[in-house]
Amino acid sequence: MAVGKRLAADAAGAGEASSSAAAAAAAAEEPLDEAELLFRTSRGAGERVSWLNKYLSALEAFEAFLRSEGILEPRPPTPRVPLPGGGMLSIVADAIRSVDDVAKTLVFEWQSALGGGGGFEKLFGLSAEKAATTALLAAALRNAGTAAAAAAAAAAAAAASNKGGASGDGSGGEDSSSGAALINAAALFRRAAGLYDAIASAGDSAASLPPLAELRPSAARALSCLCLADAQALAAAKAKSAAVRGSAWAGAAQLYHRSGKESAADASSASAADSAGEGAGGSAAVPPPPLAAASAAAAALAAARARASAAQAAFAEEAGGSSAGAVPDPGIAMAHLREGLAALQAGKKAAERVDDEQQQRRRKNSSSGGGGGATPPLGSSSSSSWAAAFEAEAKTFERASARLDRERLTVYMTTVPSSAPAAPAARVVVAASAATAPAATPGLF
């Protein structure tokens, strides 16, 4: 789509006194079309973030121009003139246009990234366009964070391989470059969470559900929790102590679970509004299927890694040095790994649902050139299949459990408790970055 040309055409069709709006659209056409060209030719996540920032700036400049020309002034009361013989004549001031009059003549089309590849929805006005662009910017920031985390994970895996292998608790090895990349990735996730929080706050005061799924309050909160959970998972991966790492992974599981609850609430509210005829309809009425299943799978993976960290804390070198007289306990460690394996088995079912839904979406979008879907679990080695990532994680747990069992029987001669030991206490160590409010975005931030 030619954004600038469409703005000009919409403004030109607004009726009397729209010449200034048309001039403003024409003035904005070049930077908007340049930004769109950058988006179409961009390949990296960082380039898309840059494009979206440029586009938001262009929208702000366009709105500022309208305000400087006095087009966005409040409409004065309609003059009422007495008629000879009685009565009143209402003179409609068509030449005076209010902010709503101008804004709602600008029509934009969006396809929801969460709507399962449905049709395009119409958005009216600059505020709605900026809200949708903000949601897309948040998604681009999360994608950039995922790419940075994947690069850091690859570097950490290489470092761990040089040191003789990684553990099954998601820690691995780390050098200075991968550590800096993890910090950068976490910052991107936190920025995305802040933008989604701003969208959710704006949606809470809306009279009806927005036409795009990602602009609905519960969906935006679910995505915010998802981004924070990803940042929390990176904090867990950086933790040096197994005990601290276990609490951090438990915190990530808590955030992923919260994301799933918000996603379920969003699906319920969207279905209720659609049944009552109050929703936007179309693709926005379809709840985002992969999000709830992906959150459940990621929560299970994080809970399993919390157990793996607890097992390491019970048996690793630090167990013997943490307090006077403490000795490694492979029985307790095996009990933690057993609980972790149970979490992985439950999570694999959700992971299989994610894979099935992604395949359905790819088939649905193949004819239109669409794509996308949920990214694999953060920190996993799989590039396409969630279920495969869970199978690989389970094998790591099984190998660790077999090694511990040999130690338990031949060296320590301890038993495995029949009841499960307590899971690590959750500790959330990340928070959303406050969204920076654009200069003229009433009702959004």
Report pLDDT for 374: 53
Question: Which residue has better confidence, 192 or 75?
Answer: 192
Report pLDDT for 383: 44
In three-state secondary structure terms, 114 is coil
The pLDDT mean for the chain works out to 73
| Band of pLDDT at residue 437, cut at 50, 70 and 90 | very low
| 439/420 Cα distance (integer angstroms) | 54
Which phi and psi (to 5°) does residue 210 adopt? -65, 160
DSSP string spanning 286-312?
S--HHHHHHHHHHHHHHHHHHHHHHHH
Residue 344 tokens read as 């992985």
| 325 neighbors 392 (Cβ within 8 angstroms) | no
Read off the pLDDT of residues 199-221 as tens digits, 9 standing for 90 and up: 998 877 766 677 788 888 999 99
| 296/349 Cα distance (integer angstroms) | 9
Report pLDDT for 51: 81
In three-state secondary structure terms, 440 is coil
| 185/9 Cα distance (integer angstroms) | 40
Spell out the residues 6+ positions from residue 235 whose beta carbon is closer than 8 angstroms to its own. Answer: 186, 248, 429, 430
Reply yes or no on whether the pLDDT at 184 is more than 50.
yes
| Band of pLDDT at residue 18, cut at 50, 70 and 90 | very low
Report pLDDT for 246: 96
Report pLDDT for 289: 54
Report pLDDT for 163: 67
Report pLDDT for 306: 96
Report pLDDT for 303: 96
Q: What is the greatest pairwise CA distance in the chain?
A: 112
Instruction: Report domain extents, the chain.
Output: 3-74+95-105, 145-154+170-412
Question: Which residue has better confidence, 323 or 53?
Answer: 53
% residues pLDDT > 90 (the chain): 28
Which phi and psi (to 5°) does residue 90 adopt? -90, 125
Reply yes or no on whether the pLDDT at 164 is more than 80.
no
Q: Across residues 235-257, what is the average pLDDT? A: 94
**H helix intervals, 42-125:** 45-68, 99-103
Q: How far apart are the first and last CA of the chain?
A: 27
Report pLDDT for 309: 94
Report pLDDT for 274: 61
Question: Which residue has better confidence, 95 or 157?
Answer: 157
Read off the pLDDT of residues 386-427 as tens digits, 9 standing for 90 and up: 899 999 999 999 998 888 888 887 777 778 888 889 999 999
| 179/182 Cα distance (integer angstroms) | 5
| Band of pLDDT at residue 52, cut at 50, 70 and 90 | confident
Residue 266 tokens read as 């969003």
Q: Across residues 15-24, what is the average pLDDT? A: 38
Half-sphere exposure of 150 (CA within 13 A, CB side): 14
Q: Across residues 49-58, what is the average pLDDT? A: 83
Question: Which residue has better confidence, 281 or 364?
Answer: 364
| 229 neighbors 161 (Cβ within 8 angstroms) | no
Report pLDDT for 436: 63
Sign of CA dihedral 145, 171, 336, 324: negative
Read off the pLDDT of residues 95-108 as tens digits, 9 standing for 90 and up: 344 545 555 567 88
